[in-house]
Chains A and B, each alone.
Chain A
Amino acid sequence: MNEIDGRVLLLRPEDNCLIACVSVPAGVCLRIGLDEITVLQPVALGHKIARFSMSAGTKVLRYGAVIGSTTRAVLAGEHVHTHNLKSDYLPTYTLSAGQQFLTKASRPSDQK
C-alpha cells in the first residue's frame, strides 16, 4: 500500500511534490501509494514532479516544509520549477538581502 515508484522520492508523506531520481520521460506512470500519476513532461534528475493537481497560490511542500507557492494551476504529473513555482522568501540572498532580512526577522511566523 505504501509502495513508492523507485524512479522518484517522496521525502515526507505530506509532500505534494516528488523528486526525480533518474531522468523520467513523459508518459511514464508512477505508482505513489494508492495513486497513479502520469508524468506530463520529461523531468531531469533532481527536479520536481507535482504529486497532486494544485491551484495557483498553493504552498509546495518538500521535506514537509514550504519551498514556495505555485504561480499558476499545476496538474498532477507536471514538472514543478521556476515557470510555475516562486519563493515566498527572498528571491536572492545577496549583499543587501541580509539587512532586509534583519527587519523581516521580527515578523510573526507565516511560513506554515
Chain B
Amino acid sequence: MTTPTEPMLTGYLRSDGRKGIRNLVLVAYLVECAHHVAREITGAFRHRPVHLLGFPGCYPNDYADKMMRQLTTHPNVGAVLLVSLGCESFDKHGLEQAVRSSGRLVQTLTIQQTGGTKTTIAQGEAWVRDALLSIKDAVRVPMGIDELVIGTVCGGSDGTSGITANPAVGRAFDSLVDHGATCIFEETGELVGCEYHMQDRAATPELGQELVDCVAKAAHYYSVLGHGSFAPGNADGGLTTQEEKSLGAYAKSGASVIQGILKPGDLAPTGGLYLLDMVPDGEVRFGFPNISDNAEIVELISCGAHLTLFTTGRGSVVGSAISPVIKVCANPHTYERLPDDMDVNAGRILRAQATLDDVGEEIFNLVLQVAQGEPSKSEGLGHQEFILTYKSFTAKGPACLPNTTNILHQKH
C-alpha cells in the first residue's frame, strides 16, 4: 500500500473527489445528425478550452451510454453542452441528469425544438460563452501525484518502439506507481505471448487467471476478424518471435504489480497498475474492437486518465479531446522529421545520448509539467481527435479488482 505523497500539483476539485488538470467546456453531439451544429458552436471558440465530442449512432448502446456519462463527468471537464437532433434514441435526459448531479453546468439544446441549425448554433455559442465565464475563476486546490491517472498507448510502431520509447514509458510508469498514481495499459490483442508473465505480476492468483483469460479472449476475437500480428517485416527489424514482439508493447507497463483489470468507463479504486480490457465480451460483433488509436485513448480517458503517454516510431501526430496526449518518439529519425509534434525524443537512447532511466525520468517530469497546465505538443497544436463506436461488455468478475473497502475511504 502506498502512502499519500506531498501535494506537488494543483487541480480543479470535482464533487466526486477527483481533481482535474484542465477545466474545459465540452460540446457533445448525441447523434451524427447533430455533429455539424455542435462543431459550428465549438468553431467560435478556437484556441479556447472548448472541446467537441459525441456519439454518431442513432441506435442505443449501453457501452456508448456509459462512455458518454464518464467522459462528460471526467475531472478535466467543467461544463457540458449537449446537442441533440431530437429523434435519436440516446438517453439525453439521463445523461443531462448525470452531469447535473455531478455539480457541473449543463444544458441540452434540441435542434428540432430550438428552431433549426442557425438558432441552435447561436444559442449554443451564447451558452458556451457564459459557461466559460462561470468556470473561469474555479480555484485550483493542492493535488498529489497519487491523484493522477495516466494511460499509455502505442501507435505507428516500428522496430525501435520496443527498445526505446516503450521501456522508457515503463520506467516512468514504475516511478508514477511508486508515487501512488494510477497507471493504465491496454491493447490485450498485442499482449499475446505475455499473459503468463502478466499472471506472475498479478496481485492475486485469481487476478492472474483473469489476465490470462483476458488475453485469450483478445486472441480469439482478433483471429475471428482475421487480424494477424507477426509479419515478415518484424523479423527484418530484429524481432524473432511473437512473444518478443508482444513484449515490446508490454514493456510500456513497466515492472509494477498488476492490481486489477478495468473495462471501458471503469474507475480504478486504488493507485497502482491496471490493465484496461478493451476487447468486447461475447460473440464478435460491431467489427474491430478499436478502429484506430484514438478509440483506445478515449477509453483510457473514460477510466479517468488525466493524460496519455503515446509511444510512436513512425510518427503519429494525434492528440485527444478532454485529456492531453504526450508523444514519446521511439525513432531518432522520426523525431528529426517531426520535431513540432513530438514531446520526448526517446531515440536518443539509440545514439547513446541517454539511458532508458534518463528518458523515463524525463517523461515522469513532463507528466508533472503537463499536469500543471503546460500544453503538450499535440494539445498546443489544437489536436482534439475523438472516436466513439458501438461495443458490448459484460460485468467484470469479482477477482478483477482489489478488495477496496478500506482503501476507498483512505484515498478521498
A51 CB–B CB distance under 8 Å: no
Q: Which of B223, B349, B350, B356 contacts A99 (CB 8 A)?
A: B223
Asked if A48 and B240 make an inter-chain contact with CB atoms under 8 angstroms apart, the answer reads yes
Complexed CA–CA distance, A46 and B349 (Å): 12
State whether A95 and B226 are in contact (beta carbons under 8 Å apart), knowing that A65-B197, A90-B242, A105-B213 are contacts in the complex: yes
Complexed CA–CA distance, A20 and B352 (Å): 11
Asked if A21 and B351 make an inter-chain contact with CB atoms under 8 angstroms apart, the answer reads yes
Q: Which of A48, A65, A92 contacts B238 (CB 8 A)?
A: A48
State whether A21 and B196 are in contact (beta carbons under 8 Å apart), knowing that A88-B243, A95-B226 are contacts in the complex: no
| In the complex, chain A residues whose CB is within 8 Å of the CB of B228 | 92-95
B149 CB–A CB distance under 8 Å: no
Complexed CA–CA distance, A82 and B237 (Å): 12
A-B contact count (CB 8 A): 127
Which secondary structure characterizes the binding site on chain B?
A: helix
| In the complex, chain A residues whose CB is within 8 Å of the CB of B356 | 9, 11
Chain A's interface size range is 35 or more
Give per-residue flags for B164-195: 1 if the beta carbon is below 8 A from chain A beta carbons, else 0. Answer: 00010000000000000000000000001111
State whether A101 and B243 are in contact (beta carbons under 8 Å apart), knowing that A44-B238, A96-B223, A109-B196 are contacts in the complex: no
Identify the closest chain B residue to A4 (Cβ): B355
| In the complex, chain B residues whose CB is within 8 Å of the CB of A65 | 194, 197, 243, 247, 250
- Interface residue stretch chosen among B15-23, B29-37, B214-222: B214-222
Enumerate B207-261 residues with CB–CB distance to A below 8 Å. Answer: 212-213, 215-216, 219-224, 226, 228-230, 235, 237-244, 247, 250-251, 255
Complexed CA–CA distance, A99 and B222 (Å): 10
B163 CB–A CB distance under 8 Å: yes
- Kindly name the residue among A20, A48, A86, A105 whose own CB sees the greatest number of chain B CB atoms within 10 A: A105
Chain B's interface size range is 35 or more
| In the complex, chain A residues whose CB is within 8 Å of the CB of B220 | 98-99, 101-102
Asked if A93 and B242 make an inter-chain contact with CB atoms under 8 angstroms apart, the answer reads yes
Asked if B200 and A68 make an inter-chain contact with CB atoms under 8 angstroms apart, the answer reads no
- Kindly name the residue among B213, B242, B250, B351 whose own CB sees the greatest number of chain A CB atoms within 10 A: B242
The minimal Cβ–Cβ distance linking B138 to chain A, given in whole angstroms, is: 43
A80 CB–B CB distance under 8 Å: yes
Complexed CA–CA distance, A47 and B197 (Å): 22
Q: Which of A85, A88, A93 contacts B219 (CB 8 A)?
A: A93
Ranked 10 nearest A-B pairs via Cβ: A98-B223, A6-B352, A46-B238, A47-B238, A87-B241, A111-B196, A67-B244, A105-B216, A98-B220, A46-B159
Interface residues of B (CB under 8 A from A): 159-160, 163, 167, 192-197, 199-200, 212-213, 215-216, 219-224, 226, 228-230, 235, 237-244, 247, 250-251, 255, 349-352, 356
Interface residues of A (CB under 8 A from B): 6-7, 9, 11, 19-22, 44-48, 62-68, 80-82, 85-99, 101-102, 105, 109-112
